[in-house]
Amino acid sequence: MNLVFKKETFRDDFTFKNSPEHVRRFPFPFHEDKYMYTVNIEPHTPGPVNSVFEFPIDVDEHYVSEMEDRALVLKDDPLRCQALPHMQLAEWDLVELLMVSMSEHYPEHFTLTRDGDKWHWINRPLGIDQQFTFGDTATLPYPPMEYITRQCQGDFCLIDQRDGNLWMDAGIVTTQADWSLDFDIGMNFMEWHGPVPLAHEAGVFDRALKFLMNLQLGKPVRRLNWTMSINPRLDTSPENFHKWGSDRMTVTPENIGEKVHLRVELQGLWRLPRSNAIVFSIRCYLISMNELVSVPKWARRMPRVLKNLPPELIDYKGLSRYRQMTIDWLSRFDDGAPTSPGGQPD
Among 242, 311, 336, 341, contact with another protein (rule: CB under 8 A) = 242
- Count the residues of the shown chain that bind another protein, applying the rule CB under 8 A: 28
How many residues comprise the chain?
346
345 is an interface residue for another protein by CB under 8 A:
no
Beta carbons of 37 and 199 less than 8 angstroms apart: yes
255 is an interface residue for another protein by CB under 8 A:
no
CA 157 – CA 271 distance, rounded (Å): 12
Q: State the nearest-atom distance from the C-beta of 230 to another protein, in Å.
A: 10
192 is an interface residue for another protein by CB under 8 A:
yes
Among 245, 257, 296, 345, contact with another protein (rule: CB under 8 A) = 245
Contacts 24+ apart (CB under 8 A), 211-214: 211/39, 211/41, 212/166, 212/269, 212/278, 213/161, 213/164, 213/166
Among 47, 135, 186, 296, contact with another protein (rule: CB under 8 A) = 186
Q: Which ranges in 78-203 belong to alpha helices (H)?
A: 88-105, 144-149, 181-184, 189-192
Catalytically annotated residue among 223, 233, 300, 304: 223
Residue 147: how many other CB atoms lie within 10 Å: 20
Choices 103-111, 117-125, 133-141, 246-254 (CB under 8 A): range interacting with another protein: 246-254
Residues of span 296-325 touching another protein by CB under 8 A: 321
Q: State the nearest-atom distance from the C-beta of 16 to another protein, in Å.
A: 22
Residues of span 54-113 touching another protein by CB under 8 A: 79
184 is an interface residue for another protein by CB under 8 A:
yes
Choices 89-97, 240-248, 256-264, 304-312 (CB under 8 A): range interacting with another protein: 240-248
Specify the residue, 107 or 238, whose C-beta has the smaller distance to another protein: 238
213 is an interface residue for another protein by CB under 8 A:
no
Q: State the nearest-atom distance from the C-beta of 77 to another protein, in Å.
A: 10
239 is an interface residue for another protein by CB under 8 A:
yes
Please say whether the dihedral angle defined by the alpha carbons of residues 177, 283, 298 and 39, taken in this order, is positive or negative. negative
DSSP 231-279: SS-S-B-STTHHHHGGGGGG--TTTHHHHEEEEEEEEEEEE-TTT--EE
Backbone angles phi, psi at 183, to 5 degrees: -80, -40
SS3 assignment, position 83: strand
Backbone angles phi, psi at 81, to 5 degrees: -130, 110
Specify the residue, 163 or 254, whose C-beta has the smaller distance to another protein: 163
Task: Report strand pairing: 155-162 vs 278-288.
Answer: antiparallel
Q: State the nearest-atom distance from the C-beta of 72 to another protein, in Å.
A: 18
- The reply to whether 223 belongs to the active site is yes
Binding site for another protein (CB under 8 A): 79, 163, 180, 182-187, 190-195, 200, 238-246, 248-249, 321
Residues designated as active site = 223
